[in-house]
Amino acid sequence: MGETPLWEVFIRPRNGLAHKHVGSLHGADAELALSAARDVYTRRGEGGSIWVVPSAAITASDPAHADEMFDPTADKIYRHPTFYDIPDDVGHM
């Protein structure tokens, strides 16, 4: 019999915040993974909502190619508000 599948666990501390990755665990199915996530990651009121996602379902970018991957953002300073000169007299904008 194979190894019990791995799940990534995301928890939302409270409504209004995003779910955040907190770690992973093994569970035979989604239901068991969810109940294990409650026991492992929320023993002290850390969350009001849990997502479990099969680790194998995540497609990740490769850190070795991070330079090429994120290169387009580096030289486009005109995407930032400070690129534009507005006289002080105009006031806050």
Partner 1 sequence: MYSQGLIGADGRSEETPEFLAAFQARIDAEEKIEPKDAMPEGYRRTLIRQIGQHAHSEIVGMLPEGNWITRAPSLKRKAALLAKVQDEGGHGLYLYSAAETLGVTRDEMTEELLDGRAKYSSIFNYPTLSWADIGCIGWLVDGAAIMNQIPLCRCSFGPYARAMIRVCKEESFHQRQGYEIMLTLTRGTEAQKEMAQDALDRWWWPSLMMFGPSDADSQHSDQSMAWKIKRFTNDELRQKFIDATVPQAEYLGLKVPDPELAWNAEKNGYDHGPIDWDEFWRVVKGGGPMNRERIAARRKAWEEGAWVREAALAHAEKRAARTAVAAE
> Which is nearer to partner 1, 58 or 93 (by Cβ)?
58
Least distance (Å) between residue 1 CB and partner 1: 5
Contact 41, 48 (CB under 8 A): no
Q: Which residues contact 77 (CB under 8 A, 6 or more apart)?
A: 83
CA–chain centroid gap for 73, Å, is 20
Query: Which residues make up the interface to partner 1 (CB under 8 A)?
Result: 1-4, 6, 23-26, 28-29, 32, 39-41, 43-44, 60, 62-64
Least distance (Å) between residue 39 CB and partner 1: 7
Least distance (Å) between residue 11 CB and partner 1: 11
Alpha carbons 55 and 69: distance in angstroms, whole number:
22
